[in-house]
Amino acid sequence: MTFFFLPDFRKRYRFISSEPVHEIHMKFSRWKKIWEEARRRLMLLPPRILRQEQAFEAILNHSSPQVEILLPAGPEEKRIHRKFFFFIQRQRSLHVALLIVETVLLPISGLMALLPGPNIFFGILALIMFAHWRGLRGINRLAGKKICFRPSPLLQEWADALEKGQEAGYADLLSRIEKEYDLPNLRKVLYR
């Protein structure tokens, strides 16, 4: 599995992995209809968010003490380490805040069970909470690993095109990156 730390079209960095997007698996036979509907709706999250959450989750299965991350070739190593450190800290804070809000909302969504039909609100919130919890665990594990950045000339072309504002070449560059690194639908993650 390969990890990437790339800027999107707004020049905000995203952490993604080469692992394909997959559904979150939870087994609840009693409430199967609710969970299936909630899981289907969770997959409708923007790819930018979904891919990043799944990359954080993938770290949980990464047994090596060192994580290799591909990125554009340009930035100095000390600068990119600092940028990545602050990115991880910001993501950790965001995940903790989201989990606190979701914990407060979970009992309220449980009251929706009084309405007729399955309580999809509770199911979706529980799955999002589960995804954020797994993401936070992955972020904490990633923060404890040795990070090795490996520059890529192809990813540097993407960063250069962003810097110069060459929107006409975005589609071609992204399709080349998708093929080179086996990253399907990267366009949805990095460009609108």
Paired with 13 in beta bridges are: 7
pLDDT for the residue 51: 84
User: 21 lies in which domain range?
Assistant: 3-190
The whole-number pLDDT of residue 63 equals 87
Kindly report, residue by residue over 76-114, the tens digit of the pLDDT: 777 888 889 999 999 999 999 999 999 999 888 878 777
| Sign of the alpha-carbon torsion through 97, 49, 78, 76 | negative
Q: What are φ and ψ of residue 67, in 5° steps?
A: -115, 125
Inter-CA distances, 41 with 44, 50, 122, Å:
5, 12, 12
CA distances from 42 to 24, 63, 113, 133 (A): 9, 28, 19, 15
* Mean pLDDT in residue range 117-133: 79
Longest dimension (CA), the chain: 58
Give 64's contacts (C-beta < 8 A, 6+ positions apart).
145
pLDDT single digits (tens) 155-176: 888 888 988 888 888 888 889 9
Instruction: Write down the pLDDT at residue 167.
Output: 86
- Count of residues making up the chain: 192
Overall domain count for the chain = 1
Q: What per-residue confidence (pLDDT) applies to 106?
A: 85
Residue 170: both structure tokens together: 């975005």
Supply the pLDDT for residue 9: 85
Task: Flag whether pLDDT at 33 surpasses 70.
Answer: no
Q: Which residues make Cβ contacts (< 8 Å) with residue 57, sequence separation at least 6?
A: 131, 134, 135, 138
From residue 74, how far is each of 19, 67, 116, 191 by CA, in Å? 25, 20, 57, 20
pLDDT interval class at 182 (50, 70, 90): confident
Alpha helices in 28-119 (DSSP H): 32-42, 47-59, 77-110
Element (H, E) at 29: none
pLDDT at position 74: 64
Per-residue pLDDT at 8: 86
Per-residue pLDDT, 127: 79
Instruction: Tell me what the pLDDT averaged over the chain comes to.
Output: 83
Listed residue (187, 161, 160, 155) closest to 174, CA to CA: 187
Report the pLDDT value the prediction gives residue 24, as an integer from 0 to 100: 60
